[in-house]
Amino acid sequence: MSKQSTQPRLLAGGNPQIPKGFGDAPVQAYIAAMPGWKSDVGRHIDALIVRTVPDVRKAVKWNSPFYGMEGDGWFLSLHCMTKYVKVAFFRGASLQPVPPGPSKQQNVRYLDIYENSPFDEAQFEAWVKQASQLPGEHM
């Protein structure tokens, strides 16, 4: 008889398959299921966001954590890729300076975080603060 794993299934790139849900619990379940070093990065990013925007609203949609402001949509999401964690700023083209990762979508910009490659936390927090003050995406 085979045992069913209690761990979420990992999709392409190691992205955890987490049921849609609102609040901190589904986001923490996603972060816990991120494979290997990506889970530590996810915890760190989540902590930086909460520290910068204490009243942030959280959800998991489309197997990705989303962060937003109550009544104003979403400003940021995370996604596990094979070799990095992708942070999407939905209004990233309006941030100063603009995050480095281009997008096919006019307003979206990305920050890719690789293993053993530190990122500028002060700049990240500045982007999070700016992004939280812009109109969010309603998805």
Model pLDDT for residues 71-90, shown as the tens digit of each residue: 889 999 999 999 999 999 99
* Beta strand segments in the chain, E: 21-22, 57-61, 64-68, 74-80, 84-89, 109-114
Average pLDDT over residues 21-27: 96
User: 89 near 99, Cβ under 8 Å?
Assistant: yes
Half-sphere exposure of 22 (CA within 13 A, CB side): 8
Q: Is residue 120 part of a domain?
A: yes
Q: pLDDT at position 57, please?
A: 97
Short-list 44, 36, 1, 2, CA closest to 16: 36
Is residue 116 assigned to a domain? yes
Backbone dihedral angles phi then psi of residue 79, each to the nearest 5 degrees: -155, 135
* Domain span at 42: 12-132
Q: What is the mean pLDDT of residues 53-66?
A: 96
Number of domains composing the chain: 1
Distance between alpha carbon 39 and the CA centroid of its chain, in Å?
12
Instruction: Evaluate whether residue 87 is within a structural domain.
Output: yes
The answer as to whether 137 is a domain residue is no
Per-residue pLDDT at 13 exceeds 80: no
- In-domain check, residue 2: no
Tell me which residue of 48, 69, 73 sits closest to 125, measured CA to CA: 48
**Region 35-59 average pLDDT:** 96
User: Which pTM does this prediction carry?
Assistant: 0.90
**What are the tokens at 44?**
């760190």
Instruction: Name the one residue in this structure whose structure tokens are 């930086």.
Output: 48
Has residue 18 got a pLDDT over 90? no
In a domain, 57, yes or no: yes
Structural domain includes residue 28: yes
